[in-house]
Amino acid sequence: MTDQEPGFETLAVHAGGAPDPATGARQTPVYQTTSFVFDDADHAASLFNLQVPGFIYSRLTNPTVSVLEERCAALEGGVGSTATASGHAAQILALFPLMQPGDEIIAANKLYGGSINQMGHSYKKFGWGAKFVETEDTENFRRAITDRTRAIFIESLANPGGVVMDIAAIADIAHEAGIPLIVDNTMATPYLCRPFDHGADIVVHSTTKFLSGNGTAIGGVVVDSGKFNWMQNDKFPSLSKPAPEYHDLTFAETFGELSYTIYGHAIGLRDLGASQAPMNAFLTLLGIETLPLRMDRHCANAQAVAEHLSLHKSVDWVSYAGLETDKYHGLAQRYLPRGAGAVMTVGLKGGYDAGVKMVEAVELFSHLANIGDSRSLIIHPASTTHRQLTEEQLTAAGAGAEVVRLSIGIESVADIIADLDQALATAGG
């Protein structure tokens, strides 16, 4: 054995997994079972009391899903994680240990449209509030904080516009207020950006996207850095005060750096039920094995496409941080040194109508509501993913009427560019 720290590529293939002890199967088996047999009554009691680790019921823990959780934690540099049924479920589960009725979060206004809807509307049903702030000035986060603020939420690389957030600066603001910074790292993936290295406390993913990379499995994950001190103030009683349902144990005292993750399983998944299916976890594990290879190709192709479209007569602008002229290029050099990702937005000179015509004219690209597939994908956000937003929110999110979002796949880049050229010609005509 060597003391050398495993590289990212090695972790993507091996972290959390081992040959099956019962059969010797090298690939992680799909444990398609609802429940698990106890050794005896004492073993069952100790599991339910959280005194020993193990498997009870697949809503709480499952061996296939556990491998995915360990692998995601290893790739992000965290201590533990909780897999969920979707990326939106991950956002709910990430906040569940932190929030009480009347509490609020501060969120960047540059977010996926579905997240803006979830936070701006559905959170109210829990008694939670969300304040959206303009991200160009990070001091806006500080100005928005009140005594009821329990977290700051951002995307490392915002969907759809590819806005790069100054993670370290925002983390400092959060920590000065005694609250955690939660970062959605879906678009960047831990291969391009590891938010914990820059001060973030919690990371969430829609594993549906680049982690699986094949468009087959819906899922999400919440990863904990293990570094936030939940006992530093009285803002987080779910973790820092006795839990009556577990004989008054205090999660932060009993489980230390794993307290947030164990709470996510023992109470979050137990009561909200948003667990990830074993088959989806298996498919996502297969995808993660090739994550580094795919992201290199995604980024190389996207860079070539962005440079081509920035000179196209039908395109008014391209938002992609890999371009030297992009306003976020400097932040991308700091936070995304391996590449600026696969997703970009382009503003068409023909406006809304040109956007609709373009998505109907593509042949290689697939017109659908997803990103992060090995295939190239396209959508017109204003008429689809962001259509519930107001005109002001559309502009703030970088999803105005003229905007088309591209998720560049791993096909031959010449074929990708050729398809865009013919679709733009049709849209322009």
Instruction: Report how far residue 261's alpha carbon sits from residue 243's, in angstroms, rounded to the nearest whole number.
Output: 15
Would 1 be classed as within a structural domain?
no
- Does 178 lie in the same domain as 150? yes
- Do 218 and 208 meet the contact criterion of CB atoms below 8 Å apart? yes
Would 310 be classed as within a structural domain?
yes
* Angle of helix 291-309 versus helix 278-289 axis, rounded to 10: 70
CATH number of domain containing 278:
3.40.640.10
Q: Which of 235, 265, 287 is the last residue of a domain?
A: 287
Share of the chain above pLDDT 70, in %: 98
Report the side by side order of strands in the sheet with 220-224: 80-84, 220-224, 202-206, 181-184, 149-155, 104-108, 129-133
Q: What is the pLDDT of residue 429?
A: 56
- Does 200 lie in the same domain as 233? yes
Burial class of residue 169 (count of CB atoms within 10 Å of its CB; 0-12, 13-18, 19+) = middle
Q: What is the dihedral of CA 24, 28, 31, 36, to 10 degrees?
A: 60
- Does 367 lie in the same domain as 231? no
Q: Which of 240, 267, 287 is the last residue of a domain?
A: 287
Report the pLDDT averaged over residues 310-334: 96
pLDDT of residue 386 exceeding 70, the answer is no
Q: CB neighbours of 317 closer than 8 A, spacing ≥ 6?
A: 310, 346, 347
Would 307 be classed as within a structural domain?
yes
Q: CB neighbours of 3 closer than 8 A, spacing ≥ 6?
A: none
116-130, 278-292, 382-396, 411-425: least confident range: 382-396
**pTM passes above 0.75:** yes
Q: Where are the beta strands (DSSP E) in 294-351?
A: 315-319, 343-348
At 416, phi and psi to the nearest 5? Answer: -60, -50
Alpha-carbon separation of residue 111 from 16, 95, 153, 326, 423 (angstroms): 31, 17, 9, 19, 27
Would 385 be classed as within a structural domain?
yes
- Do 79 and 257 meet the contact criterion of CB atoms below 8 Å apart? yes
- Does 349 lie in the same domain as 248? no
Would 2 be classed as within a structural domain?
no
Q: CB neighbours of 6 closer than 8 A, spacing ≥ 6?
A: 14, 15
Closest by CA to 356, choosing from 340, 380, 372, is 380
- Does 94 lie in the same domain as 114? yes
Q: pLDDT tens, 119-134?
A: 999 999 999 999 999 9
- Does 245 lie in the same domain as 320? no
Q: pLDDT tens, 38-94?
A: 999 999 999 999 999 999 999 999 999 999 999 999 999 999 999 999 999 999 999
- Does 404 lie in the same domain as 298? yes
Report the pLDDT averaged over residues 327-335: 97
- Does 261 lie in the same domain as 205? yes
- Does 140 lie in the same domain as 245? yes
Q: What is the pLDDT of residue 227?
A: 97
Q: pLDDT tens, 230-266?
A: 999 999 999 999 999 899 999 999 999 999 999 999 9
- Do 322 and 306 meet the contact criterion of CB atoms below 8 Å apart? yes
* Omega of the bond leading into 160 within 30 degrees of 0 (cis): yes
Confidence tier at 391 by pLDDT (50, 70, 90): confident
pLDDT of residue 3 exceeding 90, the answer is no
Q: What is the pLDDT of residue 31?
A: 96
Confidence tier at 381 by pLDDT (50, 70, 90): confident
Q: What is the pLDDT of residue 242?
A: 97
Q: pLDDT tens, 35-52?
A: 999 999 999 999 999 999
Instruction: Report how far residue 288's alpha carbon sits from residue 294's, in angstroms, rounded to the nearest whole number.
Output: 9
- Number of domains present in the structure of the chain: 2
Would 296 be classed as within a structural domain?
yes
Count of CA atoms in the C-beta half-sphere (13 A) of 353: 4
Confidence tier at 204 by pLDDT (50, 70, 90): very high
Q: CB neighbours of 264 closer than 8 A, spacing ≥ 6?
A: 82, 93, 96, 97, 222, 224
Q: Domain span at residue 410?
A: 291-428
Q: What is the pLDDT of residue 179?
A: 98
Would 3 be classed as within a structural domain?
no
Report the pLDDT averaged over residues 1-9: 84
- Does 232 lie in the same domain as 158? yes
242-251, 332-341, 395-404: least confident range: 395-404
Q: Which of 287, 313, 335 is the last residue of a domain?
A: 287
- Does 388 lie in the same domain as 344? yes
Question: Which residues are registered as beta bridge partners of 367?
Answer: 378
Which amino acid type is present at position 167? Answer: I
Closest by CA to 314, choosing from 271, 357, 273, is 357
Would 368 be classed as within a structural domain?
yes
Q: What is the pLDDT of residue 114?
A: 86
| The two structure tokens encoding residue 334 | 């700091």
Instruction: Report how far residue 68's alpha carbon sits from residue 28's, in angstroms, rounded to the nearest whole number.
Output: 10
CATH number of domain containing 395:
3.90.1150.10
- Does 239 lie in the same domain as 178? yes
